Copies of this chain bind each other. A is one copy, B any other.
Amino acid sequence: MKAILIIADGLGGRPTDVAGKTCLEAAHKPNLDELACRGATGLVDPIGPGIRPGSDTAHLSLLGYDPHEFYTGRGVFECLGMGMAVGPGDVCFRANFATVERTGGALKLLDRRAGRIAGGQVDLARALNGIRLVDEPGIAVEFLPSTQHRGAFILRGEGLSWRVGETDPHEVGAMVPDAHPLQWDDTAARRTATAVNEFTRKCVQVLETHPVNRTRVKEGKPQANILLLRGASRLPHLEPIQAMYGVRGAVIAGGALYRGVGLACGMERLDAPGATGGVDTDLHSKAKTALLALERLDYVFLHVKGTDNAAHDRDARAKVAFIERLDGELFGRLREGIDWKTTHLAFTGDHTTPIDFGDHTAEPVPVLFAGPDVLPDRSAGFSEREAAQGGLGRFSGRVLPMLLNYNNWNPKFGS
């Protein structure tokens, strides 16, 4: 038996998306409709009713891990997804280059993305990785840049804690705050905050004199003269899927976050050529990579991000177009390529991102299961409204465990 879970980020919508219809309702999607006819649909609250999900917490929950228990922050998943080795005591952050100016003893934020710097990040990273911290003994730093201003950062050493605040002031014109322990009597968090603050001071010294920034100044571009840190987190103690279900699988995702969540659950990482984590991603390539993986592995988790990107841009047309491309290029290919006698498929979103609002909201998301052991319901298509009448009803999270169950892989609780 084989299983494939597909999550389209921010899939859900509202009737205000496209003149009384959601983007999913407005899209022409014959393949998804056919799968819904053949299978069963329902509504899933990614975390719980009325809980507005982040993408990280929603994915943990859909994969079967309670985010209230396991979630500490987004940084660790970004680090893992970028290929960094994360140890049990490490504190991980999301990091981004920004532009600050010195004013008195403080640092004032001028550009949160350092002009979306494109070039020189690896040289800057090399300089940052040379920083030695001395205020607290035995703490090492590691920074890895990803796209543009973005990257991931790790503090390593004994006695550190993820319970520290961020150094990102979020607003241009605001001063860069010190990192603070979330509780003052938390020794490990104080030690960590001290290290973060020393790093911040030293990173500005290192970056503002760096040749890359001298060149940027000459070219009239904002300097990348600070690294802002947020999403402090640690490796969660997730029981690997293989240990629980005895099966091996892979994650296919253009976005580092999603790869990171998959890796944290014990999936292997497969890179589809041309997967970008955006609306321009190569869906043919992702479908092909998934089908190839299913020849070798038990299950695949495939993530697409375009739906959410389009909705964050409040671009209904782009969201509808991406759903239609998803239907043709991904689900069309999967419908042909999957052995439906031995494979179960699940499709859902990790949250609703309505066009009007342009950010995540807490409505439930439609979900679809298909395959030989799925009891078909009366669904005539796949949309929020159809799924609201679907035979699976409404439930919270845990779509992957429900999918793997159709393959009779789930451990028995009790006897």
Contact = CB atoms under 8 A, between A and B. Distances in A.
Interface stretch (A48-56, A118-126, A265-273): A48-56
Contacts of A42: 393-394
Interface string A26-38: 0000000000000
**How many copies make up the complex?**
2
A390 B392 CA distance: 11
A389 B378 contact: yes
A258 to B, nearest CB: 13
B375 A414 contact: no
A53 B377 contact: no
Nearest to A352: B405
Interface string A349-374: 00000101101111110000000111
B405 A362 contact: yes
Most buried by B among A16, A43, A400: A43
A97 to B, nearest CB: 19
A167 interface: no
Interface of A: 14-16, 22, 40, 42-43, 45, 47-58, 64, 67, 71, 73-74, 231, 354, 356-357, 359-364, 372-378, 384-385, 388-402, 404-406, 408, 410-415
Contacts of A384: 375
A290 B56 CA distance: 39
A393 B391 contact: no
A268 to B, nearest CB: 22
Nearest to A361: B405
Given A385-B375, A393-B393, A49 B402 contact: yes
Contacts of A73: 415
Given A359-B408, A405-B50, A15 B375 contact: yes
A375 B22 contact: yes
